[in-house]
Chains A and B, each alone.
Chain A
């Protein structure tokens, strides 16, 4: 069976890969958006923190004997705490300066973290076994669906939507959004804005680490696994509109799928298609698909 001259097997295979990539784009750009919304900085360390999440899972398994499910809980918390320390000690000193200094500082931290891990573990990947519960897969008739990949897509979608719900529909989220609009007024109402900012940064970093844990069994645990990925995610964030929560989720998954299909129909462009889309979107809507006019 073929569609547009392409075997359905290949088409659905690339659709699945696209959805997997899209899940990572969505989780990472969601974290970037949450951080950008409140701190107004682009967190260049995000790719390194994604990598730290995967390494945290690796350490938990090999040093503490704690498996995948524990890592899913503990790795984001641990990496999130390093994010909190980073924000408390350095980032918060830059809030009154131009936001570009935040970009440069987090870029510096990304270089340090990636350099240190590369020094210790080299550039080749470390294997991380798939959890036994999710090994294998099922035959859907038209394609073979590995269980773990289905889990990654479903779980990251659930995390994204929960985050969206908390920020857009709960009281806690309304504090966050209010602090984005007018921090001094929210502070005057008795909400501890600096602490909110710190915890938000920690949460965004935790999301990156969570993506890292999810990625560990699929890709290998590699010091540079986040270095190039984060550039693509930046483009995803620009397309979706900086700071838009739903925008990053939708564009994350959507662009993953588009990229997957490009691999089927025009493989030469699969690396660049996201950047081309970005250029087109910028021409038509400079604030991104879901962004508000600034």
Chain B
């Protein structure tokens, strides 16, 4: 398969590093909106959307900039959730340590799965990550510390650094927002660094990148592990927000959801995954009482996006204003 993967990219990406003006403006607008939002919208809903937005950004790091479609990213979300929930509830860790434990769990899994999966490409890669994810799912179903079907419930939120109690919803919201922005900026930094440029070079033409002396496999593995780590950060945070770590977050349907969010928002765009995550979480919120229709609507969005709307919301927007967003 030597097809180029430039269909993923909404507009030709400028080879500049650092922060471009449209990105800076969009970031300020996004941050301002998110700071003001909890005073108008139910904060728990916003926190859910933020966790998924970070998850989608982490996923996008892999598909948008390395051209690898992982169909097993739920593993990192779910495993980090278990790690954080277990360490907070059973070991009595404070929230910042619990989140670190969860994220580290995702990193370790990322190294293990990535080392095996990264040698393949395209459909093979998607298939292999999916299969590993299912393996971890069955493990989570049977392992003693995950609580099986019940999950780990009523996880204590504790207090950040022993002073900032997370019992107050608004405090929790701003902590989650801070984690999201930190993750978002780190991913942005990774993409717009020499490392990110090499990733794009590998995506466009791997043999040429190798011939220029770059160890493509190492770069890809590092990108995979980074993506897993940030997905884990999202999962660990989500477990503390909902005080729950459950099988839902490890199941392959969750892997499908993050693909949906990123595809809808715009593959390979900086802000697309955030927009996509907010749209999908909002939709699910409104459709929740309709049961099986949620799945149908998700399927329809997939089909429509793939057939007619491959750039996604942000990709189309970027094309309209002729800027890469």
Contacts and interface: CB of A to CB of B under 8 A. Distances in A.
A105 B296 contact: no
Contacts of A242: 123-124, 127
Interface in B249-302: 252, 256, 259, 263, 291-296, 298-302
A271 B300 contact: no
Contact of B263 (A41, A104, A271, A272): A104
15 contacts: A42-B126, A42-B127, A90-B307, A94-B307, A99-B1, A100-B69, A101-B7, A105-B307, A115-B298, A116-B292, A116-B296, A119-B291, A272-B138, A278-B128, A286-B119
B131 A118 contact: no
B8 interface: yes
A141 B301 CA distance: 56
Nearest to B133: A231
Contacts of A271: 138, 141-142
A98 B134 contact: no
Given A42-B123, A279-B132, A294 B302 contact: no
B154 interface: no
B160 interface: no
Nearest to A101: B306
B296 A111 contact: yes
B135 A238 contact: no
B130 interface: yes
A185 interface: no
Contacts of A104: 259, 263, 302, 305-306
Interface size bracket, A side: 35 or more
Contacts of B292: 115-116, 118-119
A182 to B, nearest CB: 15
B64 to A, nearest CB: 12
Interface in A90-140: 90, 93-94, 97-101, 103-105, 107-116, 118-119
Given A98-B3, A242-B124, A112 B131 contact: no
Given A108-B303, A114-B295, 6 more contacts: A42-B123, A42-B126, A108-B306, A116-B296, A238-B124, A279-B135
A105 B306 contact: yes
B165 interface: no
A107 B300 CA distance: 10
A294 B119 CA distance: 12
A107 B130 contact: no
Q: What 3 pairs across the A-B complex have the smallest Cβ distances?
A: A108-B302, A111-B299, A115-B295
B283 to A, nearest CB: 13
B118 to A, nearest CB: 11
Given A108-B306, A119-B296, A272-B135, A98 B130 contact: no
Interface in B71-105: 71
A237 interface: yes
B122 interface: yes
B153 interface: no
A98 to B, nearest CB: 5
B120 interface: yes
- Which among B1, B127, B298 has the greatest number of chain A C-beta atoms within 10 A? B127
B182 interface: no
Contacts of A116: 292, 296
A18 to B, nearest CB: 17
B299 to A, nearest CB: 3
A212 B116 CA distance: 33
A235 interface: yes
B310 interface: yes
Contacts of B5: 98
Nearest to B112: A279
Given A107-B256, A115-B299, A116-B296, A100 B123 contact: yes
Contacts of A112: 295-296, 299-300, 303
B284 to A, nearest CB: 13
Contacts of B252: 231
